Amino acid sequence: MAIVSLTSTSVTVNPLKQSQTLGAALAFLGFKGMMPTLHGSQGCAALTKVVLARHLRSSIPINTTAMTEVATVLGGEENVEAAILSIVEKSQPEIIGLCTTGLMETRGDDMGRFLKEIRHRHPELDYLPIVLVSTPDFKGALQDGFAAAVESIVKVIPQKSEKANICPKQITILASSAFTPGDIQEIKEIITSFGLTPIILPDLSASLNSHLENCHIPITTTGTNLEQLRSISNSVCTLVLGESMRNSAQILGQKFCTPYEVFNELTGLKATDRFLQTLAHISGNVIPEKYRQQRRQLQKVILETHPYFGCKRVSLALEPDLLWSTTHFLRSLGMQIHAAVTTTRSPLLEELPITSVTIGDLEDFELLANGSDLLIANSHADAISQRLNIPFYRLGIPIFDRLGHGQFPRVGYWGTIQLLFDIGNLLYQEEMKVRH
Amino acid sequence: MKPNTEEINDLPTPSGSESNTQNRKKLSTQPGIVQGSCAFDSAMITLLPITDAAHVVHGSSGCASSMWGSAASLFSDSTLHKTRFTSEIEESDIIFGGAKKLRKGILELQKRYKPSVVFVYSTCITAMIGDDIEGVCRDVTEETRIPTIPVHCPGFIGTQNLAHRVVGETLLEHIIGTAEPDICTPFDINLIGEHSIAGVIRNVLPLLEKLGIRVLAKITSDARYQEICYAHRAKLNVVLSSQSLTSMAKKMQKKFGIPYIEESFYGVEDMNRCLRNIAVKLGNADLQERVQQLITEETAALDEKLAIYRTQLQNKRIVLDIVGFKSWLIVFASQKLGMEVIPISTKNFTEDEQSQIKSLVGRKSIILQLDTPEEIQQIINEHQADILIASRYQYTAIASNISFLDLNTERNRPYAGYVGMVEITKELYAAISSPIWDVLREPNPWD
């Protein structure tokens, strides 16, 4: 049981968290034909685009209602309407994800009414789903915005088909912001190897393959499409990857009576065992030979690497879902959690098997992390690693100073092996330094 | 301090440098089209290179963290400016006002971080709820004697240009002329508007030093607070790139009688002209002679360094998308290397712009009508190009059997001055001579 404390200063120094708006925009990128649109000042969209482009290392479709000072005083309805019409004309999206920003939430624009009236004035847009999500950046964090965007999608788009037509091989996957595109790709591969068809919300993995895209397309060209979203009611069950996605699963449960199961970890031997067992149970198939072999390899790698992990002290600055899975994985190797800082509230925090966790910034992290053997955080903690002279492994969002960080999985047996070597090498290198 | 309408309308005209191409973008914002940046972000990037300052964002943490780490500047001294401070206003602060929290926060950070100066940036939310930032800054300055300066530039007020104006006004109102340097020399100048992304200023400062020219204030790149205070004692203002800061130079001329020139560090011709003009304006015959000598030496050294690349690159043909700052660098490099440039663009240039392009590369820009891969391919074939330099269509380049260089890559290399020419040439050579194009063109073995 962890005691959750809030930082008590009046000034935040080196913020750890990213905004809800950014999280929602990121989630929307996992759907095909999408134009994420931010209702706020054009700067909000421009900066969100920069952060996401640097993190994902690809071009990012994003749009804005371009609220000016005057427009803010008058209210945003005209701008929302103009933006939607312009996007439809120029980019022909299949779906628009409309996120609010702190500015418009402060003003109190009634977005629900705006959309209703815009729809009334423009019946020609009836075909086009416009998914509205409230993501003020003055509360919550990336993980909350990401989850809220998926909630809005499952509320609006999947409809109950007229006759119940459950497809026993189709499962819905709700994957939180803790997973990279490489993770999602691995998860997809594992699931399909059981003969199951996953519908992944959101599916960021496909963006990995779009590097040879021929021309500049202003909307997403990959990801889960509308047809798949509409067929979610037929899924035999929902697997929730990350606690923050539980609400979406509950919504699906209420709408379609789909049962769900939550997996808060997919890294490590036991966590992967549980996931594969569940898939075997759902599909009625045995665990494929490929994964049996990977499991034996993982056992060997754990044996090989554990001396470098045992009793080492690690400090973590991660969002709640990622903090939970990383804490459990590293503790399973004998590491001790020296300090934990996170961004936002979550029911997981109090259940963490550590003494305390701080909802705070990277200044808190720097103070708490002193004396540990390893730091794990996003790229902004690089300077801290240099000042404290402690090895640093990058995890979370944003990561802008590493090539290919989003490409390789850290989930499943194979991903766990990868992670063990990556972190193990950092710790090993540190020991070698001492010897010479 | 907010600029009035007259000032907003008095916008700079484009010519050939980095911020020029940005200036060409439409200056009004339009729903449904993402263009330009955030005014707050631009203001902060402009002031951020004051390295012993604490930069405080009065707004949500989203504003503070979104722009953090985006300007890849190199700095030599203090690193305080890299620490990001924000009042991180929350729902309750919006309801009850965030000024109190801001004041408490500034006092706290002053105790812990001992900045020479504090800049406080308003953002959309705090501007809208009307927090009295000016009042807080005035009180804190009186209380602690550490200058605490409001920068009123919330994102929704407009574009980058406007932000630069606000910054100029802020510096003039609160900093410039508030302290006197120990000594003055007849060769004191200020550099205005070069933010030393990727440390470009390091390519130029040694040259000025060699000539005996003292840079009094760098406004702002790798600067200390104190040097900005001295700026009013310079004999000349050299305005680089950021055209919008010209208004600041104009005001300094009026207020302190300092003449200004608008120059650029990018490309050999521009660099030469810049040094010559500084010498002319400082009115010292001896210096002019030294400048001439330095130019002769530097260009000779540069030619020697480029010779090996020239043999490889001469007469190669570039299809170049004229978009952004880096495309002009390519133009300058192509001139030195004897390469041929076929300029293309998606937007209609004015006659003036077209003749400017023509004077630089010998032909007018092709305006893309369809902006499709087929059109690009046709241009490549028609001109028998060797490389496509653009921010997209790399697959078209590969399919057309030619090399590709991305204009969109991060700006983490210093392109300024004579040294910068070598940098861009290397990049050009690496792209043209890379073996990867052949590898990528290999057909699928199963086809």
DSSP assignment string, B328-353? HHHHHHHHHHT-EEEEEESSPPPHHH
Q: What are A432's two structure tokens?
A: 């070698």
Among A220-224, A303-307, A377-381, B104-108, whose mean pLDDT is lowest?
A220-224
Q: Please tell me the distance from the alpha carbon of residue B404 to that of residue B389, in angstroms, as a whole number.
A: 6
Task: Name the least confident of A365-374, A388-397, A427-436.
Answer: A427-436
Q: pLDDT of B279-288, one tens digit each?
A: 999 999 999 9
- Number of residue pairs across A and B with CB atoms under 8 Å? 190
Radius of gyration of chain B (CA): 24
**Partners of A115 in the beta sheet?**
none
Q: Which residues pair with B149 in a beta bridge?
A: B119
Whether residue B275 is found in the same domain as residue B414: no
Same domain, B102 and B159: yes
* Mean pLDDT comparison of A123-132, B367-376, B393-402, highest-scoring range: A123-132
CB spacing of B31 vs A103 below 8 angstroms: no
Q: B108 CB near a chain A CB, below 8 Å?
A: yes
When divided into structural domains, chain B yields a total of 3
Q: How close is the nearest chain B Cα to the Cα of A41, in Å? A: 5
Whether the per-residue pLDDT at B2 is higher than 50: the answer is: no
Enumerate the residues of chain B whose CB falls inside 8 A of the CB of residue A66: 29-33
Strand duo B85-86 + A12-13: pairing: antiparallel
Q: Provide the whole-model pTM.
A: 0.92
CA dihedral sign, ordered B405, B356, B273, B216:
negative
Structure tokens at B125: 């939310």
CA dihedral (B325, B329, B330, B331) positive or negative: positive
The last residue of a domain, from among B302, B336, B365? B302
Summarize the confidence of residues A168-187 as an average pLDDT.
96
Among residues B157, B147, B78, B88, the alpha carbon closest in space to that of B119 is found at B147
Per-residue model confidence (pLDDT) at position B69: 65
Concatenating the DSSP letter of every residue in B402-434 gives: -EEEETTS---S---HHHHHHHHHHHHHHHHH-
Q: What pLDDT is attached to residue B406?
A: 87
pLDDT surpassing 60 at residue B14: no
Say what the pLDDT of residue A213 is. 52
Phi-psi region of A176 (alpha: psi -120 to 50; beta: other; left: phi over 0): beta
In chain A, residues with a C-beta closer than 8 Å to the C-beta of B160 are none
Yes or no, beta carbons of A400 and B83 under 8 Å apart: no
Same domain, B68 and B95: yes
With bands split at pLDDT 50, 70 and 90, how would you rate the model's confidence at A9?
confident
B31–A66 C-beta distance less than 8 A = yes
Least Cα separation, residue A106 to chain B (angstroms): 7
Domains detected in chain A: 3-7+292-435 (3.40.50.1980), 20-139 (3.40.50.1980), 167-205+219-290 (3.40.50.1980)
Domain co-membership, B280 together with B326: no
Q: Which of B35, B60, B156 is the closest to A72 by Cβ?
A: B156
E strands, A366-416, in order: 374-377, 392-394
Q: Tens digit of pLDDT for each residue in A90-138?
A: 889 999 999 999 999 998 889 999 999 999 999 999 999 999 999 999 9
| Residue entry with tokens 């939180």 | A176
Q: Judge whether B385 lies within some domain.
A: yes
Residues B119, B228 share a domain = no
Dist. CA B64–CA A18, nearest whole Å: 9
Q: How confident is the model at residue B76 (pLDDT cuts 50, 70, 90)?
A: low
Which band of pLDDT confidence, cut at 50, 70 and 90, is reported for residue B411?
A: low
Domain boundary among B142, B174, B206: B174
Q: Could you tell me if residue B422 is inside a domain?
A: yes
**Above 50 in pLDDT, residue A269?**
yes
C-alpha Rg value of chain A to the nearest Å? 22
Q: Other C-beta atoms within 10 Å of B172: how many?
A: 18
Residue B33's nearest CA partner among A38, A69, A176 is A38
Q: Do B34 and A46 make contact, defined as CB atoms within 8 angstroms?
A: yes
Contacts of B63 in chain A (CB under 8 A): 137
Q: State the pLDDT at residue A254.
A: 95
Q: Where are the beta strands (DSSP E) in B65-192?
A: 85-86, 117-122, 148-151, 188-192
* Prior bond of B311 cis (ω within 30°): no
A217 Cβ partners below 8 Å, 6+ apart?
A61
Q: Say yes or no: B122 and B219 in one domain.
A: no
Q: Are residues B166 and B210 in the same domain?
A: no
Option in A11, A19, A90 nearest B109 (CB): A11
* Spatial contact of A138 and B125, defined as CB atoms under 8 Å apart: yes
- What per-residue confidence (pLDDT) applies to A53? 87
Are B40 and B61 in a shared domain? yes
pLDDT digits (tens, 9 = 90+) for B432-445: 999 999 898 888 89
Same domain membership, residue B156 and residue B114: yes
pLDDT score recorded for residue B9: 34
Kindly give, in sequence order, each residue whose CB lies less than 8 Å from that of residue A269, ignoring residues fewer than 6 positions away.
A295, A298, A299, A302, A332, A413, A416
Beta-ladder partners of A199: A172
Strand partners, A227: none
d(CA A33, CA A131) in angstroms, rounded, equals: 13
Interface touch A213/B393, C-beta < 8 Å: no
- Across the interface, whether the CB atoms of A213 and B105 are under 8 A apart is answered no
**ipTM of the modeled complex:** 0.92
Q: Are residues B83 and B200 in the same domain?
A: no
* CB-closest option in B36, B79, B106 to A42: B36
- Assess whether B225 and B360 both reside in one domain: no
Task: Note the pLDDT tens digit of each residue in B215-227.
Answer: 999 988 888 999 9
Whose structure tokens read 């955030």?
Answer: B38
Mind telling me how many Å the CA of A213 is from chain B's nearest CA?
7
* A137 vs B56, B60, B67: nearest CB: B60
Closest CB from A79, A139, A216 relative to B90 = A139
Last residue of a domain, one of B111, B145, B174: B174
Does residue B393 lie within any of the structural domains? Answer: yes
* Enclosing domain of residue B207: 188-302
CATH of the domain at B272: 3.40.50.12380
- Domain of B137: which CATH number? 3.40.50.1980
Q: Determine the distance in angstroms separating the CA of A401 from the nearest CA of chain B, rounded to an integer.
A: 10
How far is A402 from chain B, CA to nearest CA, in Å?
A: 13
The pLDDT score that the predictor gives to residue B62 is 82
Question: Can you give the pLDDT at residue A194?
Answer: 97
For B36, name the nearest residue in chain A, comparing CA atoms only.
A46
Tell which residue, B320, B344, B348, has the closest CA to residue B332: B320
The whole-chain average pLDDT of chain B stands at 86
Asked whether residue B25 is assigned to any structural domain, the reply reads no
The per-residue b/e assignment along A396-408, b for 16 or more CB within 10 angstroms, e otherwise, is bbbbbeeeebbeb
Chain B 30-69, residues with CB within 8 Å of chain A CB atoms: 30-41, 56, 59-69
- pLDDT class of B409 with cuts at 50, 70, 90: low
B163 and B39 Cβ atoms separated by less than 8 Å: yes
In a domain, B24, yes or no: no
Return the SS3 of B58.
Answer: strand
Nearest CA to CA, how far is B447 from chain A (Å)?
A: 18
Higher per-residue confidence, A123 vs B396: A123
B412 touches chain A (CB under 8 A): no
Residues B89 and B195 occupy one common structural domain: no
Chain B residues touching residue A90 (CB < 8 angstroms): 32-33
- Is there a domain that residue B26 lies in? no
B410: closest CA of chain A, how far (Å): 9
With an 8 Å Cβ cutoff, are A68 and B29 in contact? Answer: yes
